[in-house]
Chains A and B, each alone.
Chain A
Amino acid sequence: MCGIAGLLFKNSDYHSGLGRSLIDMLDGCQHRGPDSTGFALYGPSQRGRLVLRFLVGEGRGAEKAISRIRSVLSEQQARIDEEYNVGGHFRVKVSVDHDIRAFSYAMEQAAQVFSIGESLEIIKDVGGAHDVDALYRVHEFEGTHGLGHVRLATESDVKPEAAHPFWATGFSDVAIVHNGQITNYWKMRRRLERRDFEFRTDNDSELIAVYLAEKLSEGVSLDEALETSIQDLDGTFSFLVSTMDEIGYAKDKLAAKPMIMYETENLVAIASEEVSLNRLFPGRALDTHEPPPGTYATWRRDNRPVGPNRRAA
Chain B
Amino acid sequence: MPRGAEIIDRLAPIAELPSVFYEAFPMALIDLKETPVREANELIRQYGAVGEDVEIVNPDARHHLGVGLTEEISVRIRGSAGYFCAGLTDGAYFEVDNNVGWGVGDNIYRGTVVVRGNAGAIPGVAIRGAEIIIHGNMGSRAGQVMKSGTLCCAGNANFMAGYMMYGGRIIILGDSGENVGEDMSAGDIYVAGKLLSVGSDAVQVDVLPSELDSIMEFLDRYELKAKRGDFKKVNNAGKKLRYGKTEQQVRSIPFHTFSGKCDYWGPKVQEDVWVKSQIGRYRIRGYGGARTLPHLSDLAFRSDLSTIGDDPHVVSKVSMNTRIGGKHGANPLDLSMPVLIAPMSYGALSRSTKQAIGIASSLSGIAENTGEGGMSDAQRDAADQLIFQCLGGRLGWNIHDMKRANALEIYISQGAKPGFGGQLMAKKVTKELAEIRGIPEGIDLRSPSRHPDILGADDLVIKVQEFREATGYRLPISIKLGAGRIHDDIKIALKDGFDFVELDGMQGSTGAGGAEVMEYVGIPTISAIVGALDGLAEIDCAGEIQIVLMGGLRDGIDAVKALCLGADAVAFGTSAIIAGGCIACMQCHVGQCVTGIATQDPDHEKRYNVSVEARNIHRFLEVVRWQIAAITNALGYKNVTSLCRDDLVALTPEAAEITRLAYEPGYRDSDRNFSESVGLG
Residues of A participating in the B interface, judged by any CB pair closer than 8 Å: 1-3, 31-35, 152-155, 157-158, 179-181, 236, 254-258, 260, 272-275, 277-279, 282-290, 292-293
Q: A221 CA to B58 CA in the complex, in Å?
A: 41
B461–A278 CB distance below 8 A: no
| Chain B residues whose CB sits within 8 angstroms of the CB of A181 once the complex forms | 456
> What is the bound-complex CA distance between A95 and B117, given in angstroms?
51
Question: Who on chain B is nearest to A180 by CB?
Answer: B456
A255 near B158: Cβ-Cβ < 8 Å = yes
* A283 pairs with B462, CB closer than 8 A: no
| Shortest Cβ gap from A200 to chain B (Å) | 21
Interface contact B61-A31, CB-CB below 8 Å: no
- A281 CB to closest chain B CB, in angstroms? 8
Which residue in chain B gives the minimum CB-CB distance to A33? B458
- The smallest C-beta distance from B537 to any residue of chain A, in angstroms, reads 13
B118 interface contact, C-beta 8 A: yes
Chain B: CB-nearest residue to A293: B159
**Given known contacts A31-B465, A255-B139, A255-B140, is B158 in contact with A154 (CB within 8 Å)?**
no
Closest 10 A-B residue pairs measured CB to CB?
A274-B61, A285-B98, A278-B60, A255-B140, A32-B458, A275-B61, A1-B457, A278-B61, A285-B79, A256-B455
Q: Is the CB of A274 within 8 A of B455?
A: no
Whole-angstrom distance between the Cβ of B663 and the nearest chain A Cβ: 31
Contacts of A32 in B (CB 8 A): 458, 461-462
Contact flags B140-178 to A (C-beta < 8 A → 1, else 0): 110000000000000000110000000000000000010
**Interface residues, chain B, CB within 8 Å of chain A?**
33, 57-58, 60-63, 78-80, 82-83, 97-99, 101-102, 117-118, 120-121, 137, 139-141, 158-159, 177, 455-458, 461-462, 465, 488, 491-492, 495, 538-539
Q: Which of A154, A274, A279, A292 contacts B101 (CB 8 A)?
A: A274
Q: Which residue of A lies closest to B83 (CB)?
A: A273
14 residue pairs of the A-B complex, CB under 8 angstroms, read A1-B457, A153-B495, A255-B121, A256-B455, A258-B121, A272-B458, A273-B63, A274-B99, A275-B61, A278-B79, A279-B60, A285-B117, A290-B118, A290-B120
List chain A residues, Cβ under 8 A from B137: 290
- Chain B nearest CB, measured from A129 CB (Å): 16
- Across the interface, do A284 and B461 meet the contact criterion of CB distance under 8 Å? no
Query: For A283, what are the chain B residues with a Cβ–Cβ distance below 8 Å?
Result: 33, 57-58, 60, 79
Q: Is A293 a contact partner of B457 (Cβ separation < 8 A)? A: no
Q: CA of A260 to CA of B97 in the docked complex: distance in angstroms? A: 18
CB distance from A261 to the nearest CB of B (A): 12
Decide if B102 touches A154 in the complex (CB within 8 Å). Answer: no
Q: A290-B118, A293-B159 are in contact. Are A277 and B458 (CB under 8 A)?
A: no
Measured between beta carbons, the chain B residues less than 8 angstroms from A293 are 140, 158-159
Which residues from chain B contact A257 at a C-beta distance below 8 Å? 455-456
A282 touching B58, Cβ below 8 Å: yes
Q: List, in ascending order, chain B residues with CB within 8 A of A2's CB.
A: 458
Q: How many Å lie between the Cα of A284 and that of B461 in the bound state? A: 26
Give Cα A2–Cα B601 distance, bound, in whole angstroms: 47
Across the two chains, which residue of chain B brings its CB closest to A35?
Answer: B495
* Known A257-B456, A258-B121, A290-B139: A274·B158 in contact at CB below 8 Å: no
A31 cross-chain contacts in B, Cβ below 8 A = 461-462, 465
Q: Using Cβ atoms and an 8 Å threshold, which residues of chain A touch B158?
A: 255, 290, 292-293
Given contacts A154-B488, A255-B139, A260-B120, contact A285 B159 (CB under 8 A): no
Pick the contact of A288: B80, B465, B492 (CB < 8 A).
Answer: B80
Asked if B99 and A288 make an inter-chain contact with CB atoms under 8 angstroms apart, the answer reads yes
Q: Which residues of A contact B539 (CB under 8 A)?
A: 157-158
Which one of A33, A35, A286, A289 lies within 8 Å of B80 (CB-CB)? A286
Chain B residue, CB-CB nearest to A3: B458
Within the complex, the shortest CB–CB distance from A124 to chain B, in Å, comes to 18
Tell me whether A152 and B61 are in contact (CB under 8 A): no
Return B40 CB to nearest CB of chain A, in Å.
Answer: 14
| Residues from chain B with Cβ under 8 Å of A260 in the complex | 101, 120
Contact A292 B80, beta carbon cutoff 8 Å? no
For chain A, what secondary structure do more than half of its interface residues adopt (helix, strand, loop), or is it mixed?
loop
Q: How far is the CA of A292 from the CA of B98 in the complex (A)?
A: 19
Decide if A284 touches B79 in the complex (CB within 8 Å).
Answer: yes
A273 to B102, CA, bound (A): 9
The residues of A that contact B177 with a CB separation of less than 8 Å are 292
Known: A154-B492, A283-B60. A275 touches B458 (CB 8 A): no
CA distance A255 to B160 in the complex (A): 10
Across the interface, B102 reaches (CB within 8 A) one of A158, A258, A285, A287, namely A258
User: B457 to A152, Cβ gap below 8 A?
Assistant: yes
> How far does the alpha carbon of A287 sit from the alpha carbon of B117 in the complex, in Å?
8
Q: With A and B bound together, what is the CA distance between A75 and B82 in angstroms?
A: 53
Given contacts A32-B458, A277-B61, A293-B140, could you give 8 more A-B pairs where the C-beta distance is less than 8 Å?
A: A3-B458, A154-B491, A278-B60, A283-B58, A287-B117, A288-B99, A290-B118, A290-B137
Q: How far is the CB of B584 from chain A (nearest CB, A)?
A: 39
Which of A155, A236, A273 counts the most chain B CB atoms within 10 A? Answer: A273
- Verify B58–A273 contact, CB threshold 8 A: no
Residues of B within 8 A of A275 (CB): 60-63, 82, 101
Contacts of A179 in B (CB 8 A): 456, 458
B270 to chain A, nearest CB (A): 38
B-chain residues with CB within 8 Å of residue A254 when the two chains form the complex: 159
Interchain nearest-CB distance for B233 vs A (Å): 24
Closest Cβ–Cβ distance, residue B613 to chain A (whole Å): 43
Interfacial chain A residues near B101, Cβ < 8 Å: 258, 260, 273-275
Q: List the B side residues contacting A34 at CB < 8 Å.
A: 495
A292 to B137, CA, bound (A): 11
Residue of A nearest to B540 (CB): A158
Q: Residue on A with the closest CB to B495?
A: A152
Establish whether residues A274 and B79, one from each chain, have CB atoms under 8 Å apart when the complex forms: no
Q: How far is the CB of A260 from chain B (nearest CB, A)?
A: 7
- Closest chain-A Cβ to B452's Cβ sits at a distance in Å of 11
Cβ–Cβ contact A273 & B98, under 8 A: no
Chain B minimum-CB-distance residue to A286: B80
Residues B82 and A282 in contact, CB atoms below 8 Å apart = no
Q: How far is the CA of A240 from the CA of B61 in the complex (A)?
A: 21
Write out the residue numbers on chain A whose beta carbons fall within 8 Å of the beta carbon of B98.
285-286
A275 to B141, CA, bound (A): 21
Minimum C-beta distance from B391 to chain A (A): 19
Give the residue among B462, B488, B491 with the most A Cβ atoms within 10 A: B491
Contact of B118 (CB < 8 Å), options: A255, A256, A279, A288: A288
Give CA–CA (A90, B440) in the complex, Å: 63
Q: Tell me the nearest residue of chain A to B140, going by C-beta.
A: A255
Inter-chain contact B458/A282, CB cutoff 8 Å: no
> Given the complex, which residues of A lie within 8 Å of B80, measured CB to CB?
274, 278, 285-286, 288
**Chain A min CB distance to B284 (Å):** 28
CB-CB nearest in chain B for A179: B458
**A158-B539, A290-B139 known; A282 vs B33 contact (CB < 8 Å):** yes
Roughly how many angstroms separate A266 CA and B369 CA in the complex, as a whole number? 55
Chain B residues within 8 Å of A236, by CB:
455-456
Q: Please give, as numbers and ranges, the residues of chain A lying within 8 Å of B57 by CB-CB distance.
A: 283
Smallest distance from the beta carbon of A148 to chain B beta carbons, Å? 15
What A residues does B82 contact at CB under 8 A?
Answer: 273-275
Closest Cβ–Cβ distance, residue A149 to chain B (whole Å) = 11
Q: Note all chain B residues with C-beta closer than 8 A to A292.
A: 158-159, 177
Which chain B residues lie closer than 8 Å to A274 at the CB level?
61, 80, 82, 99, 101, 120
Instruction: Contact check, A1 vs B456: say whether CB atoms are below 8 A apart.
Output: yes
Taking the closest CB of chain B, its distance from the CB of A178, in whole angstroms, is 12
B104 smallest CB distance to A (angstroms): 12
* A1 with B488: CB separation less than 8 A: no
List residues of chain B with CB within 8 A of the CB of A282: 33, 58, 60
Whole-angstrom CA separation of A284 from B538 in the bound complex: 44
Q: How far is the CA of A254 from the CA of B140 in the complex (A)?
A: 9
A153–B140 alpha-carbon span in the complex (Å): 27
